[in-house]
Amino acid sequence: MSPRKRYWLMKSEPDAFSIDDLQRVGTEPWNGVRNYQARNFMRDGMKVGDGVLFYHSNTAVPGIVGVASVASPAYPDETQFDRKSHYFDPKATREQPRWFLVDVKFERKLERTIPLEEIKQHADELGEAFPLVARGSRLSVFPVTAAQWKLLLSLE
């Protein structure tokens, strides 16, 4: 028996990488995450086949725009070793990588964006700790329960 699949939400700024970009390329290494908590979720929590809600942040109408899936086990983020990369980390080495990522695979675009504004109206059901509705939270990768997953997609 394979372990039950988990669910996640991952934020991306559409100017940098949008759901349309993911649809075009099919699968993409989720590079550039430089937050330890988000890294830990990818490195320690994600399994191939897990569900991902694709969220657009820092845009006119922030919200959930698509469904994706985890397409690889975690492995070191190559950009941490690249001196020319914006994501270069001088403290990371091949022997001791600091940043890990997974590949994310396109599944589908939602019929419409589920705006953050609407998600907030369900804060009671989602729970105060849900990072999209928790005040001040900036976490860009976090787990979603099966119940939250179902609720959020029911808004589509």
Q: In the complex, which residues of this chain contact DNA (CB under 7 A)?
A: 11, 13, 34-37, 57-59, 62, 91, 116-117, 135-140
Query: How many residues in total does the chain contain?
Result: 156
CB of 6 to DNA, least distance (A): 20
Short-list 149, 146, 73, CA closest to 110:
149
CB of 3 to DNA, least distance (A): 28
CB of 95 to DNA, least distance (A): 18
* Shorter beta-carbon distance to DNA: residue 79 or 140: 140
* Shorter beta-carbon distance to DNA: residue 34 or 47: 34
CB of 97 to DNA, least distance (A): 14
The rounded distance, in Å, linking the Cα atoms of 114 and 137 is 19
* Shorter beta-carbon distance to DNA: residue 27 or 58: 58
* Shorter beta-carbon distance to DNA: residue 58 or 93: 58
The CA-based dihedral angle spanning residues 101, 119, 49, 96, taken in that order and rounded to the nearest 10 degrees:
20
